[in-house]
Amino acid sequence: MEFRKELDPLRPYVPPKSWRMAAEGTDDKGYAKLTSNELAFGPLPEAEAALSEVMPRANRYPDSHVSRLRRAIADANLGTEPGNVLVGNGSSEVLMNALQLLPGGGEIVFPWPSFSLYPMLCAVLGMTARPVPLTKQQETPSGALLSAVTSETRAVILCNPNNPSGTYLPLSETRGLAAELPEDVLLIVDEAYVEFVEDPSYENSHTLALERDNVVVARTFSKAHGLAGFRAGYGIAAERIADYAERVRFPVSVNLAAQVAATASMLARDKVRARAEFVIRERGRLQEAFRSASLDFIPSQGNFVMVRFGADAFERDGILVREGEALGYPGWSRVTIGDSGENDRVIQTVRSSNMTMDKGA
């Protein structure tokens, strides 16, 4: 039996320790779980209520077109119609569906380090990944991205803000990049962390996708909405892209629970925004603590911060973070912003290590 050769280097996703502990039933109480950029809080009460209401109907298939959620997403993004909205089983599916629209083979350009899903999708879809290194300041190399585009390029994926660096490209620069790309190259802007961007001029970033017929903006309910467990994501794009994306999507990929929870959460988006503002404030507090402890860190616009501090040192204090080794930053950790208590613990850990170092010196 022969399998496709490009699948040989792929390995199943190695989840962070907090997921493994949960799967194995290991006692994980007492650990601060700051590995996966999840929200520290559960779903909004509105989402929980919507969910319990539909529970008795779980024997029925849900609305395969996902109409109510598309409507709620359109209403939340000025100028967007339901016909501009892509939906998926997490934004992972939205990203995959977008790539599935492109002619076979060819190359996909994206900055690196970035989200591990991109090279994986390329391999699965038989496309060639063309990673372009971030700048020295760990920023998105827009010039180098453009130079990497060839006649073989099918798409550029821009993770904005970028996971794991937390850096981001202002909207004007993303617009500039979109304007310079050849018309037959799709620009996919992965905005999983858009709710945590402070720059007010970034607010209407979806307009970029509505203005052009080769841009998709992908977003998720897994981060700011606190619904990672249900798997719902969406995209905004020209109607033609949304129409084609619907042709490749599994007919019922967004399950009933995901549909109703995500819709309720989007309708209560003022509360989501308030939670994101909390995360932004706490991010400032963490970054300030890293600065005071003289630790290198990358100023972030996501709900996480990359800091030069070992994951084992965090783990000794009961804090689980994403090991930098897995992300292209050996010796560093990616710390998700948690609740105030969890963030206090992170601050305490870096403070006391700083004091120990001072005494040693």
Ligand X SMILES: *Cc1c(COP(=O)(O)O)cnc(C)c1O
Interface ranges with ligand X (CB under 6 A): 37, 90-92, 115, 159, 163, 190, 192, 220, 222-223, 228, 233
Q: List strands edge to edge, sheet with 319-323.
A: 32-34, 319-323, 333-336, 304-307, 297-298
Q: Which residue is nearest to ligand X (CB)?
A: 90
By C-beta, is 226 or 310 nearer to ligand X?
226
Min separation Cβ 205 and ligand X, Å: 15
By C-beta, is 62 or 226 nearer to ligand X?
226
Min separation Cβ 357 and ligand X, Å: 32
Min separation Cβ 192 and ligand X, Å: 4
Min separation Cβ 48 and ligand X, Å: 19
By C-beta, is 181 or 227 nearer to ligand X?
227
How far apart are the C-alpha atoms of 306 and 237, rounded to whole Å? 31
Min separation Cβ 38 and ligand X, Å: 8
Q: Is 95 helix (H, G, I), strand (E, B) or coil?
A: helix
User: Are 259 and 232 spatial neighbours (Cβ–Cβ below 8 Å)?
Assistant: yes
By C-beta, is 266 or 289 nearer to ligand X?
266
Residue the block writes with tokens 């994926």? 157
User: Are 305 and 283 spatial neighbours (Cβ–Cβ below 8 Å)?
Assistant: yes
By C-beta, is 92 or 153 nearer to ligand X?
92
Q: List strands edge to edge, sheet with 107-112.
A: 85-88, 233-237, 215-220, 186-190, 153-159, 107-112, 128-133
Neighbouring residues of 37: CB distance < 8 A, sequence distance ≥ 6: 163, 192, 193, 223, 302, 303, 304, 334, 336
